[in-house]
Amino acid sequence: MSKILTSTVDVSSLTKKDTFISIIIIGLLFFIFGFVSWVNAILIPYFKIACELTHFKAYLVTFAFYISYFIMSVPSSFLLKKTGFKKGMMIGFWAMSAGAFIFVPAALTRTYEIFLIGLFTIGAGLAILQTAANPYITVLGPKESAAQRISIMGIFNKGAGILAPLIFAAVILKATDTDLFSQLATMNEGEKNAALDELIRRVMIPYTCVGTILFALGLMVRYSPLPEINTEQESPEVASANMDKKTIFQFPHLILGAVGIFLHVGTQVIAIDTIIGYANSMDIPLMEAKSFPSYTLFATICGYILGIIVIPKYISQVNVLRICTLLGIVLTLFIIYAKGQVHVLGHVTDISIWFVVLLGLANSLVWAGIWPLALDGLGKFTKLGASIMIMGLCGNAIVPLFYGYLADKIDVRHAYWVLFPCYLYLVFYAAYGHRVRRWKL
């Protein structure tokens, strides 16, 4: 432990070159986060067909993937305290690599439960990486521009998210699959099983390659020039304010922020992972619908670029958070109530699907807005506070299940009502919750 402490550096001692290199390396991590996470947008309808699942069971993809954040986030903070950032990140990459390799026996047997184990293992590795990377980039410079740095990370993340479904679809799906999907209902049991076995086994080679790459990336980060930043440094003011603080739960703005992250990531994954199913409900085939998650992610990237330009020079990160959360409420109501056929980007659809796409813009700067507000003034509690925030990522697992349940019980359009209370809470946190410093009875 002492070896790790003596090798840490104060962020103020880093040169511009050191900071630039660190941002690029952490940006690579966020690219990996995005690629591995947002491929779920195409995995969900793919598994739904190949493993013959209901809407609810299909969204267990996101549940298995993201519930690991809830389970692993606090252990991740202790792991990082013991190993330091770089060794911890290596372990995270290796856990992801193991999860990718689990896809091979899962595909061989077409066993959905084994796929879920693989997804959980990948998520566990990502929990370690996220617990390290988010506080790292937050403290890597002035707190007033933290949302700007996180927006840069978001471009890496969502840029990978645009590529992931398209690359997965290009590698896994064939031009003739639209005919195959339409013929499944007329096949006898033997023909259908053979066709579905062939379909699901297409993931074996890609995920073997992914596992190998992730293992190599773990070694690369371990021996990279990324400095071990001291994220637990306290200024005299922060140390004085935290003298009476014994547990992490004495920071209400952090706990309320973690709830905000829980709801925010849930709304984000619903906007991206359900849009193919929503397009299918408009009789848009999978081979055409596969583009819609990329449109949503592109809208998110546009939001990040705006954030980089305007924060903090023209508008504060807290006011940007308020604008984005209010926009989320407005767009949710448009999704439910707006109707009419439109022709956009070569697609003939109901107009409401484009409001789902625009949720990418509303969601873009919420994460970047909440993190610096929630971690403000934590001092020596920063790593543990970050792990509490990462626990909130299990919202990706839980909130979409409510959408899937409502989609089965009502319909895929009105299931988007689940977004409304989420955005209401986010408006509360942006307006008031982030300023709460003591619990009031």
Residue 347 lies in a domain: yes
Which structure tokens are listed for 270?
A: 């619903």
Q: Which tokens belong to 101? A: 């390799």
- Residue 343: enclosing H or E segment and its boundaries? strand 341-344
Give the Å distances, CA to CA, from 31 to 192, 309, 326.
37, 21, 28
Distance, in Å, from the CA atom of 103 to the CA atom of 99, rounded to the nearest integer, reads 7
Is 4 a domain residue? no
d(CA 160, CA 169): 14
Has residue 235 been placed in a domain? no
Q: Is residue 441 part of a domain?
A: no
Count of Cβ atoms closer than 10 Å to residue 209 Cβ: 12
DSSP per-residue codes, 279-305:
HHTTT--HHHHTTHHHHHHHHHHHHHH
389's tokens: 């925030």
Digit-coded pLDDT (tens) for 105-122: 988 888 888 888 998 999
Per-residue pLDDT tens listing for the chain (441 residues): 334 443 566 666 667 777 788 888 888 888 887 787 767 667 777 777 788 777 777 777 777 877 887 888 888 878 887 887 788 888 999 999 999 999 899 888 888 888 889 989 998 998 888 887 777 777 777 767 777 787 788 788 777 877 877 787 788 877 777 777 777 778 888 888 888 888 888 888 888 988 998 999 889 888 887 777 666 555 565 555 666 677 888 889 999 999 999 999 999 989 988 898 899 888 888 778 888 888 998 898 899 888 888 887 888 889 999 999 999 999 999 999 999 999 988 888 999 999 999 999 999 999 888 988 998 888 777 778 888 888 888 887 788 889 988 998 889 999 999 999 999 999 999 999 999 888 875
Inside any domain, residue 241:
no
Determine the pLDDT at residue 6: 39
Q: Residue 127: inside a domain, yes or no?
A: yes
The model's pTM is: 0.73
For the chain, what is the domain count? 1
Chain segment 26-71, per-residue pLDDT in tens: 888 888 877 877 676 677 777 777 887 777 777 777 778 778 878 8
Query: Residue 265: which domain range?
Result: 13-226+247-435
Q: Is residue 236 part of a domain?
A: no
Question: CB–CB of 426/328 below 8 Å?
Answer: yes
> Could you tell me which of 179, 58, 284 has the C-alpha nearest to residue 187?
179
Give the Cα separation of 84 and 88 in Å (integer). Answer: 6
| Domain assignment of residue 238, yes or no | no
> Which CATH number characterizes residue 68's domain?
1.20.1250.20
Alpha-carbon Rg for the chain in angstroms: 22
What span, in angstroms and rounded, lies between the C-alpha atoms of 78 and 245? 19
Beta bridge partners of 343: 348
DSSP 229: B
